[in-house]
Each structure stands twice: as C-alpha cells, then as structure tokens.
Amino acid sequence: MAIPERLRFGSLAVEPALILAPMAGLTDTVFRRVIRSLGGCGLIMTEFTNAHGVVAHRGGPAAKNRRRPFNYLHYEPDEHPIVAQLFGSDPEVLADAARVVEDAGFDGIDMNFGCPVKKVVKCNGGSGLLRDLPLAERILKAVRAAVAIPFTCKIRTGWDEDRLVYAQMGRLAEDCGLQGIALHGRTRAQGYAGEADWDRIAALKQAVGIPVVGNGDVFSPQDCLRMFRHTGCDGVMIGRAASSNPWIFRQIRQYIATGRYDRPTEADRYRLLSDYYRRLARDGDKISGDPLGKMKQFAAYFTRGVRNGARLRKAIYRVRSQEEACAAVSEFFEGQLGAAA
C-alpha cells in the first residue's frame, strides 16, 4: 500500500505527503496545533487570508488600534512547516502581502484560486479568477517575483463544466515558476455538491511537471489511498473531514503501515474537545474570531456521529460564556462515560 512518503515544493519538504487544507474560520493557530499534536500531518496552512487585510494591518499605530486584531497569520514556532494562503485580485497588493508573509517566517505561500463563496467571487477573488487567466498570470508572476520562498496555488477544475481550465492553470503555474499545485476536483458551480472528479486530478498530473496535490472527497484512510492510486498525485489535501475527525491524518498513516487504524473512543473525544476548548480560552487573543463562537462552531462539526451528540450541540449552543461551554462538555462526556461503565 505504498504511497509517496515525501513531497517537495522546492526547498520545502512535506513528510508525510498529507496536507491540512486551508479552511476559513477553522484553521487558525489553535486548530492547527491540535492537528499537529495528533500526528500524521506533513503540512498545515492558515485560513485563506485577504491580501488587502495583510497589507493594511502590517504595522503602525493604525493597525494596533483597530477594534479587531488581525490574527489570520498568527502562528507558533511548533507549527512549522506552515504555509500562508492568500486571496485577492490585485497583483501589486498580493505581491506586497507575499512579502509580509515571507518576512513573518512562513515556509511557503499558497494562492487561492478555488474558494467558491459568492462574496469572494464577486470581488474576482478565489475561483472567480478562473474566468480571467490573463489576470491570474499577472498575479502569479508578481508574487513569484516578490518572494524567494516556495510558492504554490490551489484551484478548482474550472468555473463550470463549460469552462474547465485546470490544465491551463497547471501549465500557467509551472511556467510562472510555482513549485506545486493543488486541485479540488469540483467546479466553482458545484460548490461542495456532487462528487469530486478524480480523473481530472490524474489528467493534471500528466499535464505538468510540478507536484500535484489531490483534494476533494477524502473522508477516510481508504479514500486517501484510493486517491493516491487513482490519480498518481504527489500528495493529498484534506479539509472537511479533519473538522469532524481530527485524527484522520494519524489514521491514514496507521492504515498505510498496517492495513488497520484506531478509531477514537468517547474518552478520546472528551480529551480532544476539552483540550481544544482550553486552548481557545487560553489563546483567544491569537485568533481572528470570537473564542466562544469558535467553540459553538466546532461543536457542530465534531459532535456528528457522537452518541447523543445532538444533546451536546444543543447544550453548547445555549451557553453564554467559555466557562459554561467547557462545563457543558465535561458534564456531557462524564455522564456518557459513567453510564457506559
């Protein structure tokens, strides 16, 4: 069941070849460090970050006095290797933001050409740029010229089925000097509906000489192995599955090594959720959102499939403080574990 042990984006070595996808509102420093602590993930990425925000907040009294701290790019030393993902549509602003990222010590930069969210696309960001390849080229060239650290991008297959541009984007990325490309196997029009087309990931792998990372519909270790085999990709990127099952990277490593993997017990889930909540309470000033809001958001993801999980979700949705949220978790799991004893 051999798969690539290592993936290289230029000087950046990713080992194992498994990547945590950038996810808005989720992959902040607290969640990333939880993933790191569980093992098995070779590379983590920030939330996708507005280049205009990076440039506007890069320093000075005006930045320090803003009501909300700009923490999208905050990371801790134990998160390396870590890549910052940017989005935007202005080549000069993106180049400036890339310089900020490089100066901050990130191991690489990734450009988002895949986000399907309407408010991002209407500003020509994310997958909106798949409709304007000349602008995409100017962006890639500007950022590549601005920094020396490894540079990659993440794309979708196209705007819709009539405008598939993944092969053109792959060749464009390679010609502009990028060290890798990740492909989510859906169009922008699909959003997250339907199935990701892994055949297109395989086709992109054949079309370019730079590393190709596959993304889309990997929800289990078995799915991950199938993607590697089906596409011949150099690495696999996992997003939504990690929000409900943060152990997935470790499970993939176990499955590849032994053909089996451990599933988390209720005690494991209790420890992880409690640890995540404690980290949020302690490091709330290092994230971009409200810690209590994050607690409620994560409960919605993490409790799917948990026995009586709906009861825990309802309890957490009702709380009004971080302390109440932590207490609700303890009460729920201690009751569950006590009833099972």
- Name the β-bridge partners of 164: 158
Q: Which of 41, 115, 176, 224 is catalytic?
A: 115
Cis amide leading into 150 (omega within 30): no
Distances (CA, A) of 160 to 23, 83, 111, 178, 241: 22, 28, 20, 25, 24
Q: Is 308 left (phi over 0), alpha (psi -120 to 50) or beta?
A: left
Which DSSP letter does residue 247 get?
A: T
Chain-centroid distance, C-alpha 263? 22
Q: Please tell me the distance from the alpha carbon of residue 130 to that of residue 168, in angstroms, as a whole number.
A: 10
Burial 176-202 (b: 16+ CB within 10 A, else e): bebbbbbbbbbbbbbeeeeebbbebbb
Instruction: Specify whether 115 is catalytic.
Output: yes
Active site residues: 115
